[in-house]
């Protein structure tokens, strides 16, 4: 499973992108983007209940503080719907989508147990 935890001083909003040919084959190029999970300071939220390595070794995440004081991002441009929750296929564009720069997470060869991502100062 994939769990995000917030150790930042304010509420954060986070999104995830992962390879999912069943949901996003064809035009979606196999990449599924989901969000937004609101996470209060000190709390955690499960964003995927299955074994992450069964889906894909590489996952992509983005988070921003609710007060806009901080962003956790990377170099991978990914579509999101902002500010509404979303479950979309990357590459199937809509005028309602915006681009955010997601960071790559290498889950390695994790076979069981949770993968936890902590967001901190």
| 23-27, 35-39, 70-74, 109-113: range with lowest mean pLDDT | 109-113
What is the residue-averaged pLDDT of the chain?
Answer: 85
pLDDT of residue 104: 93
What are the C-alpha distances in Å from 27 to residues 14, 90, 92, 94, 121?
A: 25, 8, 6, 13, 38
Contacts of 91 (CB under 8 A, 6+ apart): 27, 28, 29, 31, 79
Q: Which pLDDT band holds residue 61 (cuts at 50, 70, 90)?
A: very high
What are the C-alpha distances in Å from 43 to residues 7, 8, 9?
A: 8, 10, 11
Mean pLDDT of 81-94: 84
The answer, yes or no, to whether residue 12 has pLDDT greater than 70, is yes
102, burial (CB in 10 Å: exposed 0-12, middle 13-18, buried 19+): buried
pLDDT of residue 112: 42
In percent, how much of the chain has pLDDT > 70? 87
pLDDT of residue 113: 43
The answer, yes or no, to whether residue 120 has pLDDT greater than 70, is no
pTM of the model: 0.85
Give pLDDT tens digits for 20-60. Answer: 888 887 776 788 999 999 999 999 999 988 777 677 888 99
């Amino acid at each position: 499973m994939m769990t995000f935890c917030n150790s930042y001083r304010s509420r954060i909003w986070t999104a995830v992108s992962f390879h999912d040919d069943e949901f996003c084959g064809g035009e979606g190029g196999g990449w599924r983007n989901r969000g937004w999970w609101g996470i209060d300071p000190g709390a955690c939220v499960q964003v995927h209940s299955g074994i992450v390595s069964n889906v894909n070794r590489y996952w992509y995440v983005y988070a921003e503080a609710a007060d806009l004081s901080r962003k956790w991002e990377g170099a991978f441009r990914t579509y999101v719907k902002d500010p509404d929750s979303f479950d979309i296929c990357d590459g199937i564009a809509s005028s309602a989508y915006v681009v955010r720069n997601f960071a790559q997470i290498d889950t390695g060869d994790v076979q069981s147990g949770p993968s936890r991502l902590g967001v901190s100062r």
